[in-house]
Structure 1
């Protein structure tokens, strides 16, 4: 497959590099794991096959051989030689066809999967691009050629996967959390504010962290916190009191207290939030 136009940001993602923290390597992987899994399921891939994570669309590629592809994650439209296809549907592509991904109206990250996955050389067991650590393949550029792997003989047949609705632009996004491990570092009023107030997604966010603006969260303790491990979905609060939600390319450790951690489904939802979206946090049921 040849890249004709990469769009604003397109990278390769799989399930990442879990279990390598002792080497100083964070997991990375797909930002919206549910959408990534749906795209792979649609084309019949084994779980975790490498797919393209496309921020705000704009991708255009050419397949040099027949392929089976699917797009998931946003309401972006997959086109084949300029013709639109159905939402989250399995599309068979002829050799030489040009496949495009339009800019979504809602949502941020789309996932383009091809049957067989993208067979670039893995780095530390993963084909994921980690933008923070600089590991894995670089972000896509025009002229890049990505090999497509052979579908394993026991892979599922292409089919339908359950579809999740794209984030709606005018609504408040609800992110469910479990409090802790450092909620006791904040005043009772700050914890109550965190679970009640609205925050707004800042333009400064990226695949490392989603920065929010809104009511500042006051600490009970002002002493320094030794760096400790963080995970995807950790809500860290720096001295300015503005929450930061760690995303897929988060660092291994953080030096500010984590007031709460998003549920896996809410971490996926956070990965689709654009700047300007309003957010509220709620305790997980």
Structure 2
């Protein structure tokens, strides 16, 4: 029987749960009461494909041990999850390397529309659109990166770092996206219009 998106479903022993393509956005998640009982690595049971840390990635036929439920089943029909918006508006705080870009590039960044690139993944939302010109030609030494950092690689198009982003990077970060706007960014399909809106530093 079909189940609504975001709805808790009771699956009995021997039954099969089939998860198809995401009907909204680009990713779907299956949560299990009690969690997945694999050995944690550095306090996490998730797999980091970029670093290779964590449990082995899933393969066909993999069997996952389940933990014991710690609470009664959810008493909701559907957990409300907003669908991705038709246009992605990302609030950004300029910096810390906005001084590495020309004044025209800074205006372009917050006034022109970009689009989500098909090359996007859980590491970063890549964009297509007008290139941002640097005011400095030298390269940065690698420095720490945070979730939501908007890094600008040599081709000049912004990349928003998402959940699986690297911990360091060597391209200048022109701004940082507000944390509340990142879930929508992670679900934005290729071709979605993207606008960056600057907010004041506190």
Tell me how far apart the structure 1 counterparts of residues 63 and 22 of structure 2 sit (CA, whole Å): 25
Once the two structures are TM-superposed, the CA of residue 135 in structure 1 deviates from its matched residue by 1.1
1:235 is aligned to 2:153: no
Matches within 5 A, 1:68-147: 83-147=1-65
1:259 is aligned to 2:174: yes
1:158 is aligned to 2:74: yes
Distance 1:156 1:197, change over 3 A: farther
The question of whether the paired residues in 1 share the 8 Å contact of 2:102 and 2:134 is answered with yes
Tell me how far apart the structure 2 counterparts of residues 156 and 240 of structure 1 sit (CA, whole Å): 51
Tell me how far apart the structure 2 counterparts of residues 138 and 200 of structure 1 sit (CA, whole Å): 33
Once the two structures are TM-superposed, the CA of residue 86 in structure 1 deviates from its matched residue by 2.7
Once the two structures are TM-superposed, the CA of residue 283 in structure 1 deviates from its matched residue by 2.4
Distance 1:162 1:282, change over 3 A: farther
1:196 is aligned to 2:111: yes
Once the two structures are TM-superposed, the CA of residue 106 in structure 1 deviates from its matched residue by 2.4
Tell me how far apart the structure 2 counterparts of residues 182 and 232 of structure 1 sit (CA, whole Å): 16
Once the two structures are TM-superposed, the CA of residue 274 in structure 1 deviates from its matched residue by 2.0
SS for the counterpart of 1:191 is: helix
Distance 1:94 1:162, change over 3 A: closer
Tell me how far apart the structure 2 counterparts of residues 104 and 142 of structure 1 sit (CA, whole Å): 19
Once the two structures are TM-superposed, the CA of residue 107 in structure 1 deviates from its matched residue by 0.3
Once the two structures are TM-superposed, the CA of residue 157 in structure 1 deviates from its matched residue by 4.9
The question of whether the paired residues in 1 share the 8 Å contact of 2:148 and 2:162 is answered with yes
Deviations 1:63-99 (A, max 9, x none): xxxxxxxxxxxxxxxxxxxx11233222211111110
Tell me how far apart the structure 1 counterparts of residues 176 and 110 of structure 2 sit (CA, whole Å): 12
- RMSD of equivalent CA atoms: 1.8
Length, aligned pairs only: 199
The question of whether the paired residues in 2 share the 8 Å contact of 1:237 and 1:258 is answered with yes
Tell me how far apart the structure 1 counterparts of residues 138 and 34 of structure 2 sit (CA, whole Å): 51
Tell me how far apart the structure 2 counterparts of residues 100 and 284 of structure 1 sit (CA, whole Å): 43
Once the two structures are TM-superposed, the CA of residue 185 in structure 1 deviates from its matched residue by 1.3
1:209 is aligned to 2:124: yes
Instruction: Give the structure-1-normalised TM-score.
Output: 0.65
5+ residue gaps, structure 1, are: 1-82
Once the two structures are TM-superposed, the CA of residue 104 in structure 1 deviates from its matched residue by 2.2
5+ residue gaps, structure 2, are: none
Once the two structures are TM-superposed, the CA of residue 156 in structure 1 deviates from its matched residue by 6.0
